[in-house]
Every structure is written in structure tokens, then in C-alpha cells.
Amino acid sequence: MKDTTTSAVIEARGLGLTFETNDGPVRALTDVDLSIGKGEFVSFIGPSGCGKTTFLRCVAALEHPTTGTLSVNGMSADAARQARAYGYVFQAAGLYPWRTIAGNIRLPLEIMGFSRADQEERIERVLSLVDLEGFGKKYPWQLSGGMQQRASIARALAFDADILLMDEPFGALDEIVRDRLNEELLKLWARTEKTIGFVTHSIPEAVYLSTRIVVMSPRPGRITDVIESTLPRERPLDIRDTPEFIAIAHRVREGLRAGHGDEV
């Protein structure tokens, strides 16, 4: 195992979150211990309702844990948010329809007070990073779903946060587009060396992308298994047919089944 304790970017200890709802408390997360090192690509996988989104939202300080501690870049999640430490990619692209693609990417830059010249330069850079050169002047609705999702990734990349949090970013896309974007995401990760937290429902996607796979289970939401990937960093798409890949995928499936246990 790498030296994750000293260079942990995200560190959760005994993390728990209980939602107080009208029909009683819902324990969305309990006893989550996890540390994510710099430059790691960590996937979260598990059945619906196991708290994947909730965990990501805690890291982004969009929810506040009720127990345990959480540090991001050595500070509290809220402080990290205020230091603009991460880019968040939601399940849907969520682009503002009244802004062009370039305008959407400019949004965080405006809010964070980047200079005008810097804005233009960054927009150009991230547009080419996600392969959308020349689409800056288009409006979101003029683009396909896959292109919109790439634009939303570009938006998250624009201000150079070193953590990227992605909540099922490709969930709404078809298999072929998804494969392409997966490949591109890996390249991007290799180029930028960001730390990535990635939620998915797809076992192949998780295995293909990650250095580590966190398996979660519901009621109450908790981590049941953490699987270290032995795949090389360089991964062509056909790596998915290798025995090594299939073995890891099998372990993940076993982990999921164990977590489900009595229910399935």
C-alpha cells in the first residue's frame, strides 16, 4: 500500500450522517473510515441508497456529518470548500441554458475572480482537454448529452482544483459514449494528476478507471470492502478482456453480494 497516511488528501474517521426526516431518522452513513491519497482515483460502488452521494457531498461540504471527523487537504471540509479545493461533477450536466458553453465554463472563474485574460486562456485549455474545441460559442441545448457532460467536466477543471468529485457523471449516457469518455477521463487524470472521487453503478467502469474501489452497502450506509487495483496506470479499452481485469471485477461483485447478503 502506498504511503497514504502522510499524504492523505481526504481523510474520514468514524464518519456518520443521520438525516432527520419526518418519518424518523435515516442513517445514511455510519462509521466510514477512509483516506484517499494524492493522485488516487477512487471509485465508490454499491446499491442505490447506500450513501455514495452522501459521502461525496460530505467531502464537498454540501452536507455536514453528524459524527466523526473529516479533513480535506488537512483542513475541514468547509474550509476546503472556501479555499475552492474541488470541482464537483453532478449526475446531470446541469449547464446554465442561458450561457454558452464557454460562458458556463467561465461561471466559476467569474465567481472566483480570475482576470479576464486568464479566463479566456483557461476556457480554451479545458475545452481542448475535453475535446470540445470550437464549441465554446454554442448553447448547451445545441449539444448532445455526451458533449454536455464533457462541458460540465471542463467546467469543474477550469479553476484547477486538485480534487475532482464526480457523482455518476456518465450514468445517463449510452455505453459507447461512456466508453469514450472513460478513456478520455483516464487520459485527463494521467495528464493532470488530480485526485478523483468517482461514484458509479457499473462494475466494469469502476474497475477500468480506479486505483482503488470502495464497496458500500445500505441500511445503514457503510463501507464493506476496499479493493486495491493491480492494473497498470496505462489502460487501453481492451484491458477489460484480460484475466486480471476480470478477476478484479469478480472480487468487486463478490464484495457487493456480501454486502447485500441476506437481502438478495
Q: Is 26 in the site for ligand ATP (CB under 6 A)?
A: yes
Contact between 48 and ligand ATP per CB under 6 A:
yes
Q: How would you label 38-67 residue by residue, b for 16+ Cβ within 10 Å and e otherwise? A: bbbbbbbbbbeebbbbbbbbbbbbebebbe
Cα separation, 207 vs 43, in Å, equals 8
State the binding partner of 232 from ligand ATP, Mg ion, other proteins, none, CB within 5 to 8 A by kind: none
In three-state secondary structure terms, 241 is helix
Each residue 177-216 as x (binds ligand ATP by CB under 6 A) or -, in order, gives ----------------------------------------
Phi-psi region of 73 (alpha: psi -120 to 50; beta: other; left: phi over 0): left
How many angstroms separate the CA atoms of 152 and 196, rounded? 15
Q: Which stretch binds ligand ATP (CB under 6 A): 1-9, 18-26, 93-101, 109-117?
A: 18-26
Binding of residue 239 to other proteins (CB under 8 A): no
* Stretch (H or E) spanning 101: helix 101-111
Least distance CB 206 / ligand ATP (angstroms): 13
Spatial CB neighbours of 16, under 8 Å, sequence gap ≥ 6: 27, 29, 30, 31, 32, 65, 66, 67, 68
CA pair distance 21, 18, nearest whole angstrom: 9
d(CA 26, CA 34): 21
CA torsion sign for 239, 9, 53, 130 is negative
Judged by CB, which is closer to ligand ATP: 63, or 235?
Answer: 63
With CB under 5 A as the contact rule, the residue among 53, 119, 195, 217 that binds Mg ion is 53
The H or E element spanning position 189 is helix 175-192
Which CB atom, from 77 or from 248, has the smaller least distance to other proteins? 77
Residue of 5, 7, 69, 82 interacting with other proteins (CB under 8 A): 82
Per rule CB under 8 A, is residue 98 in the interface with other proteins?
Answer: yes
Q: Smaller CB distance to other proteins: residue 49 or 204?
A: 49
Partner interacting with residue 87 (select from ligand ATP, Mg ion, other proteins, none; CB below 5-8 Å by kind): other proteins
Q: Which residues bind Mg ion (CB under 5 A)?
A: 53
Q: Which residues bind other proteins (CB under 8 A)?
A: 57, 60-62, 81-82, 84, 86-88, 90, 92, 94, 96-98, 107-108, 110-112, 139, 141
Q: Which residues bind ligand ATP (CB under 6 A)?
A: 19, 21, 26, 28, 48-54, 221
